[in-house]
Structures are given as C-alpha cells and as structure tokens.
Structure 1
Amino acid sequence: MTREGEREDKPIDILLVEPNPGDTRLFTESFDDAKLTNNVHTVSDGDAALEFLHRRGEYTDESHPDLVLLEPQLPGKDGMDILSEMNDEPVLRDIPVVILTSSDVGEQIVKSHGLEADHYVQKPVEPEDFLEFVQEIEDFWLSIVQQPASDT
C-alpha cells in the first residue's frame, strides 16, 4: 500500500481500446508525457480487445492489463459486449474499466445496458485537453492504488 503523495514505481499496463487512430496517437503521446509510469497497449476494435484480455492469438505473451480505457463505440464487438464479458469472467472482472464517453450521455447509455464501469471520462476534443484527461486517469489510478487491500 502506498501513502498519499507516493507512487508505486511499478509501471501500470493500460489497454486502450480506441478505434480512431488520431485519438490513439494523442492518448499514447499524452501518456508518454505524463508523470505516471505506464505501458500503453492499443487495439482498435472489440474483437482485438477480447483477444488481448483473454491472451489469445498474437496476445498470448501479454499480461492482463491493470486498467482498461474503453471506447464504447467500436467496430466488431462493441464496448458493451467487452464490458459484459469482463464482468462475466472471474479473471477479468477485477480489472478497473474507464469508459471513454464522447458526450454527457455516454454514462447513461452504458448503464441503460445494465452494465457498470469503474469510472467514466469524457474524451478530450482538443489536443491540448489530452493532458488534463491523462491527469484524471492518473488520479483515478492513484485512488485505486491507495485503497487498502481488503482481507478476503
């Protein structure tokens, strides 16, 4: 457990599921510039996201991500399918998921499918807003890391 103001030095593995190549580039560049030590893995559709999460195909050597950033509108299986499958799989259900919404109604859309994510963040529109976005993700991650482990 870390104390407030401290960070663990272990990099976090982030899976970014984003179909827009321009946004993917801005996300990864912003994470590279962030203070948070991370490894960002990117996929552009729902089928590849599930392959990564289940460590199948070209992703067999990957570890499970520490955090998933999920755009709900994807080619192939959509974000609702991915979130549903993650919730149904014991090995995946504890991975925190941040839904990347494009509008204020994004959270309601996800919830209307009977699903719940750990956090919702509105996707930046302007390139300069990506750093603020990364700071919000970093704050969310640090709040998870700083929670005391539950005794099970």
Structure 2
Amino acid sequence: MSLPPRHVKSLTILLVEDSKSDALLIEETLSESPFLEQLYIVRDGVEATDFLYHREKYSDVPRPDLIVLDLNLPKKNGQEVLAEIKADEKLKTIPVVILTTSCNEIDILTSYRHHANCYLVKPLGLDQFIEVIKSIELFWFAIVRLPFAQN
C-alpha cells in the first residue's frame, strides 16, 4: 500500500509509557518514520501532565500532535491523564491513542467515556507489537488529517 502525500509538517508524539522495553521498541520502530519529527517519552502520569502544561523541565517542549498513552502508570494513572487532557480546552483536540496491556471492558469503556480516540491492546508477540506501532504511524500520520497546534 503506498502512502498518500503529506501536506503538513512532520509530527511530534508524546509517548507516556513506564515500561522501558516497550518505550525502546516503540522508539526503534518509529526511528525511520518519514512523518515523525520528534518522539518525547515520559514515564508516569505526573510527568505527562508536566509536559503538556510546560512545567519545570518541560517549559520549552512543543505541543504534541499525538499522544500514545499507557493506562497502568505510576503516580497518576492513564485514565486520570486522559480525563485531564480531554477536559482542557487547549489540549482536548490532541488525539490520544490508548496503548495498554489491559483487555478489561471497564478500562475500554472508561477510556472512550473520557474521549480516547482509540484503544489498542499491546500484543504479546514482538512482530505483532511492531505491526501495531506501524499501524499507528500509518493511520495517524499518513491517513488522518490532524489539526494544526493551537497553543
């Protein structure tokens, strides 16, 4: 399948993932993406909100074009982060992809009630995990039209 032409800038992802191995795999999979300008990785929910609100060491980071969010996070869980993002007038237009190990129907329903843009369960196999990441890249960067950042 050939990719449609892009008419927008390269994009920035905020990955909120406490698993170092999953974060590394995602980073390696996206490292050669023609669409990705920058991948920022934070390890917990508090760090994610600090990033989004430009607090402390994140005062000069850009607004992400896409957030990939795990649910099972230390300090502040992914549902809390998602609810905060989608309740904020300046952040709610950022698409949020839930990428988690949870198959729990309550987690899925709660995520969509908090206006997640999609919910993906991390596959156990390495090849399948890489395919999911490539699918995120293809769909969100090559097919979907994202809004320009509104600071």
TM-score of the aligned structures, taking structure 1 as reference length: 0.83
Deviations 1:85-122 (A, max 9, x none): 1111111000000001214336x414237422001122
Does structure 1 residue 96 correspond to structure 2 residue 70?
no
Superposition deviation, residue 132 in structure 1: 0.8
Does structure 1 residue 27 correspond to structure 2 residue 26?
yes
Q: Distance in 2 between matches of 1:146 and 1:75?
A: 29
CA contact (8 A) 1:30 1:130 kept: no
Q: RMSD across aligned C-alpha pairs, in angstroms?
A: 2.3
Residue 37 to residue 87, structure 1, CA distance change in 2 (3 Å): closer
Q: Distance in 1 between matches of 2:71 and 2:4?
A: 32
Aligned to 2:63: 64
Q: Secondary structure at the match of 1:129?
A: helix
Identity of aligned residues (%): 33
Aligned to 2:110: 112
Aligned residues: 144
Unaligned runs of 5+ in 2: none
- Please tell me the residue identity of whatever aligns with 1:100: L
Aligned to 1:38: 37
CA contact (8 A) 2:45 2:77 kept: yes
